[in-house]
Chains A and B, each alone.
Chain A
């Protein structure tokens, strides 16, 4: 990292953090397909990175929407080139043609990028929850491969912490942004718990299947599938372990259903207001949630005017989803502020991590000297009248002991190199010029 340069010149090697990657914004689907590698791919990439002797630690993340390679090495530009070549080769790109689809960051920019990725700020659907798990999984593999050392460990753990903060302190992931999860959210607002609800699925479309999956998520509900063709109904019924009926079974199924998802292709309404009114009477006014995601619509819109019936069509759901996406964008601003804070906090750890052991050693040493001298003085005092310690002599010996080594060291340094920065450092550390 850059901030390393000034501080440790001459003391140790400069280490750089380099990140090269591509995501849904920079690369086409075709390219992402070629690069999107499995768990084995991540391992292979880290292994290949570690074969390079310059690279100390490495981390590879690969999901269907992004690939990120992260390396800790001495040679900044060389490593960047190496990472770009690796990605280019993986995507079957001719050398030198990778320029536009890959991005690269180094130092704190790389840290910020990783934090943003983990916190799902860089995702296609901002705030989606899967990415954190994917990064954790990739980190575990990097540990297995022996590619994660102190730095990567600390960096990844810090990024998990940041992601958790973003999730809990902002509403970035709070509201549903898909029609399916929106339907589930609404159902929860109507029924409270979704446990043991009965869901009627009309039509064998993918949309209703997806929405039903969201609704059935951990609620042990019962499913009735209705469809024009028997095999369609059976297929859906089989997925959710429910029963299949024909379209003429809808009227009956309405008696028990709490939630109806409809996405059948039909020219006339499959559920009319009169049908719902009859059902409401039979079901003693239990609340009924109707979701009509078919175009043209399957459920007569007037059915929504019945007191205990809540009818949402695809436009209603889409409108709320759009609003939620807007909210997420607003929340993203707050999230960016958290990211910035955490990047700084990581930087602080990085900058001060070397001084911590020194502080500890210094403290131990001073304590040892003081304790030893105090013990000696106490032992001496037993023979004296009144058993009093000679404080003046004690402070003198402690001073001498404490300053002996620094003074000798300064003198030697002065003799070898002239009155250099060591003297200046001592003057500064002890604030000798301020007094």
Chain B
């Protein structure tokens, strides 16, 4: 599909541009790459709309479709964040991540909605998927910000004010992005899980199953809940909260991809 190829190319150019700008430390290049990323997001949005019309349902149900949706959401959140704060440099993490996800999503395993399992044939299921994915996109962006935060924090702590630390955003801006992403991401993610549990009760008889996917998702949800609690109640900032963000997100990635690859689960539909 030409539209999809265009989207891929735009993501690739934006990712390379961002990485290159990190290497030469020129902010203008990063800004230009962000415009390319905006174009990629626009075309990608169009692509998703086209598929939606084709299938008559939001194209998020297969693992690969959902990855595509996730990369689009991550891009959109990044673009919004860098528009509101001075954090264009985050694109050096966000753009390659978006490109990586769309790459994987391009592997040809299109699932026809017609043969979808009963569990997914419901507005509840679609709402569950969309909420979870949007939440995951926010948490992914939070993880990007946390990684950059850790690098910048290390440079400032070691008193290395070099070209890299000058180029990276300030700790304050990074923490702001981190905070907004965690609050919105956690809210959507929680809502998504709740909808999923409701659907599970309707389809499988019980909301909770001692299933690897359920457990891992719960572990990562618990980490994020802990993180949010520490941030809101104790004002956790800095290194500790950034490290916990990354750890929680790694668990979340494991839950997302482990699906049928690393472990068997009833949460499998194709």
Contact = CB atoms under 8 A, between A and B. Distances in A.
Answer yes or no: are A and B bound together in one complex.
Answer: yes
Interface of A: 174-175, 182, 185-186, 188-193, 283-287, 304, 307-308, 310, 312, 316, 319-320, 323
Nearest to B156: A310
9 contacts: A192-B171, A192-B176, A283-B235, A285-B236, A285-B238, A308-B237, A310-B156, A310-B157, A319-B159
A320 B158 CA distance: 12
Interface stretch (B37-45, B72-80, B161-169, B189-197): B161-169
Interface in B102-151: none
Given A307-B240, A310-B157, A320-B161, A189 B171 contact: yes
Contacts of B152: 189
Shortest Cβ-Cβ A-B pairs, 6 listed: A284-B235, A192-B172, A192-B170, A192-B173, A308-B238, A191-B172
A190 B237 contact: no
Give the interface residue-count category, chain B. 20 to 34
B156 A189 contact: yes
Interface of B: 85-86, 152, 156-157, 159, 161-162, 165-166, 169-173, 176, 234-240
A285 B237 CA distance: 6
Contacts of A283: 235
B235 A193 contact: no
Contacts of B159: 312, 316, 319-320
A91 to B, nearest CB: 42
Given A287-B172, A320-B161, A190 B156 contact: yes
B86 A192 contact: yes
Contacts of A284: 234-235
A307 B85 CA distance: 24
Given A186-B156, A310-B156, A191 B237 contact: no
Among A182, A191, A193, A285, residue most surrounded by chain B Cβ atoms (within 10 Å): A285
Nearest to A174: B166
B161 A185 contact: yes
A320 B172 CA distance: 22
Nearest to A283: B235
Nearest to A310: B156
B171 A287 contact: yes
A299 to B, nearest CB: 14
